Structure 1
């Protein structure tokens, strides 16, 4: 009797689960959006029969000036959708160049994601849909039929910060079966980001797989730490639970991260098959991560042979008074005198940090400190940072 009751209970539970799954499935709008046409035009659609106005906003549209926590910056504009007799709104772009794009809808003033596109990405506290167009540069961001590396989330002990912390690690194809030792790139995120930023927004795993398969990059390990020292992990992934991510958390860019960065290096070199010397270490980062890269590499001036500053947030800070920020010119000179293979600086022409980077390069020029410089179109955007990664990685460990 008990067995029969148990079977009945399990059957009812399964029916309930299936009903919920079917409810989720059949509750979705049966619309194709975005639809990518053969000529690289893209059509967006959403069913909103009672709406009075629907727009789409995304990085495929002309930019407009926007107020942000970091001042006035370029942001995506918006385009009007047109409603048909069935209450479906639509908009078709002109042909788009190959790229990974993000977008959202604005329905009667409320920003929302596309209910017909399950592919979402988080940037700080904003969640948007994404889509890929074409080959060209965008081919590096796609999953191709090539050998694939592995991505893992690891926890490491940071004695300097007094906690276990989480980082993301990419290991190249065949790493698990290999007895070979590999070089390491430490890849740092910007303000508001975390250990998920480069792997998600930056498409790091896809870029590395494709560059390695094409013979354009050496197989290497890529370590993507969390640069927010008050966090043990990304929001929703650590001990603080689920909370809204903030753009500038306490202790951001105050020297604490830089001073304790070797906790990360020690963990990697004790737990992975790596070539543990200066010639096989690289460090790079975007915005705040570029700031961290500049300071970590000069504070530990004989540790890295390759440095990459992507749209680096090199700016004076009132709270930058700790030991890490003392004698900047002297430690840069020590770093220069120790020698290195590559000091690479890249920034967009309309980036709000352009002038700060120009001033920093003038300092390096005055010191006679060698560097390579790349100037691109556009501003402080992930489109540039993905491109910079594809340009920087092939120059490493050659």
Structure 2
């Protein structure tokens, strides 16, 4: 009996040891998301028992009202079943861009097991790939000097918690002695967190490449979490592993804007920065554009550069109190104090297009001078990465 028990324990230990090993052999033995020289891309997925496999991607034409697998702006394409149960599809030549996609297997969203590059947008996971030879070369890790990305925590007295923040310092920061740098505060949208400009936004790659090309001034980029009710991105906080919930408490109630000075104070206390209005910029996408607009007028003498990317600038019920109150008066003070750049970008198909047109009319009446860029596209990362790459070279030029 004792020998049997020892044998069972030995086999259990071996099983535990095997399960703890790296998963080296679980992927399908095929290639997928193959980018060809002519900018076409081939996808392969082995599912011999599936009745239908489709690909949902932001490179596919989107039908009216289509919303696929939680992916915004995704169209749906049927794949063809070939030998050995492998489903395949090759795109037409694609323009240079970072693209995301999922498979739909008999209607069920499924990641591509043959492409390990996966990003999270809110609660949706997508595979990604890059087609180069154009705009997306800015989004690649090229052989250039690289900056440093740090995950920091700061304490917020106003929000009564510690909060996670991502901070990019440019190449050479650690070796530059007493040199001080300007700062861009870069804010995410309602479905994002402090990590999203790093992942889908490719902000660090964009900065590395623009700086080495001489198109951008070396700068520090600060990417906080804009949900005042959150400590950090899902999986990075004391809340543990939970299912992300859209628009958590404290998202657009003024708490983030009112306590933004704590972020500035933390950065200026811990980094070598040029701590004045001339060397501070703030920009954001969608909800982050809403935040950037209100923070810049609430602290009306803090930022010389403001960028609104597809900003959620529509008037909202109750948006006349606290941080959001005295809109015209504080904006007039901001104008009187002077700014070097107020920049607005929006896509023609963006659901916030009309709201941005109305907002620009309000700015015109107040006499606020701004730069405006209208592009093709909707409320998508394709636009926001472009806007960042256009906005950044305009900053901190003496």
TM-score range, shorter chain: over 0.9
Map of 1:227 onto structure 2: 226
Q: Which residue of 2 aligns with 1:4?
A: none
2:333 matched to 1:330?
no
Deviation of 1:35 after TM superposition, in Å, equals 1.3
Structure 1's 258 and 19: CA in aligned 2 closer, same or farther, altered over 3 A? closer
Distance 2:185 2:231 in 1: 18
The normalised TM-score by structure 1 is 0.93
User: Does the aligned pair in 2 maintain the 1:104–1:112 contact within 8 Å?
Assistant: yes
Matches within 5 A, 1:48-197: 48-66=47-65, 75-179=73-177, 180-197=179-196
Match of 1:292 in 2: 291
> 1-side partners of 2:121 and 2:17: how far apart?
32
Summarize the Cα distance change of 1:390–1:17 in structure 2 as closer, same or farther, 3 Å threshold. Answer: farther
1:84-141, CA deviations, whole angstroms, 9 ceiling, x for partnerless residues?
Answer: 1310000110011111000000000100100100000000000000001122101000
Partner residue, 1:216:
215
Q: How many angstroms apart in 1 are the aligned matches of 2:128 and 2:349?
A: 24
Q: How far apart in 2 are the matches of 1:170 and 1:363?
A: 34
C-alpha displacement of 1:265 = 0.2
Unpaired segments ≥5 residues, structure 2:
1-8
Distance in 1 separating the partners of 2:395 and 2:13: 55
Q: Which residue of 1 aligns with 2:367?
A: 368
> Matched residues in 2 for 1:43 and 1:187: separation?
35
SS at match of 1:89: strand
CA contact (8 A) 2:163 2:231 kept: yes
User: What whole-Å deviation, never above 9, does each CA across 1:292-333 have from its counterpart, x for those lacking one?
Assistant: 010000000000000000000011222434311111001100
Residue 16 (structure 1) shift: 6.0
Q: Displacement, 1:67?
A: 7.0
Q: Which residue pairs with 2:5 in the alignment?
A: none
SS across alignment from 2:150: strand
1 CA distance for matches of 2:339 and 2:290? 18
**Correspondence list, 1:213-362, <5 A:** 213-362=212-361
How far residue 63 of structure 1 moved from its aligned partner, in angstroms, is 2.0
Q: TM-score, normalised by structure 2?
A: 0.93
Find the aligned partners of 2:307 and 2:66 in 1 and give their Cα distance: 28
Distance 2:297 2:229 in 1: 23
Give the whole-Å Cα distance in 2 for the aligned partners of 1:67 and 1:152.
38
- Write the distance in 1 (CA, Å) between the matches of 2:233 and 2:138: 26
Instruction: Tell me, yes or no, if the aligned pair for 1:65 and 1:75 is still in contact at 8 Å.
Output: no
What is the number of residues matched between the two proteins? 384
Displacement of 1:153: 0.5
Separation in structure 2 between the aligned mates of residue 309 and residue 266 of structure 1, nearest angstrom: 23
Instruction: Tell me by how many angstroms 1:65 deviates.
Output: 3.1
SS in 1 for 2:65: strand
> Per-residue CA shift, 1:39-84, capped at 9, x if unaligned?
111110100000000000101111233377xxxx972111111111
8 A Cα contact 2:313 2:359, kept in partner: yes
Native 8 Å contact 2:320 2:326 kept in 1: no
Contact conserved, 1:309 with 1:344, CA < 8 A, in 2? yes
Q: In terms of mean alpha carbon deviation, does 320-329 or 80-89 score higher?
A: 320-329
Provide the residue aligned with 2:389 in structure 1. 390
Q: Which runs of 5+ in 1 are unaligned?
A: 1-8
Partner secondary structure for residue 155 of structure 2: strand
**Residue 132 of structure 1 aligns to a residue in which SS?**
strand
Give me the whole-angstrom Cα distance separating, in 2, the residues matched to 1:74 and 1:229: 24
CA distance in 2, matches of 1:218, 1:226: 25
**How many Å apart are 1:20 and its aligned residue?**
5.5
Q: CA deviation at 1:18?
A: 5.9
Deviation sequence 1:358-386 (CA, Å, 0-9, x none): 00100111111110000000110001000
Alignment RMSD (CA, Å): 1.8
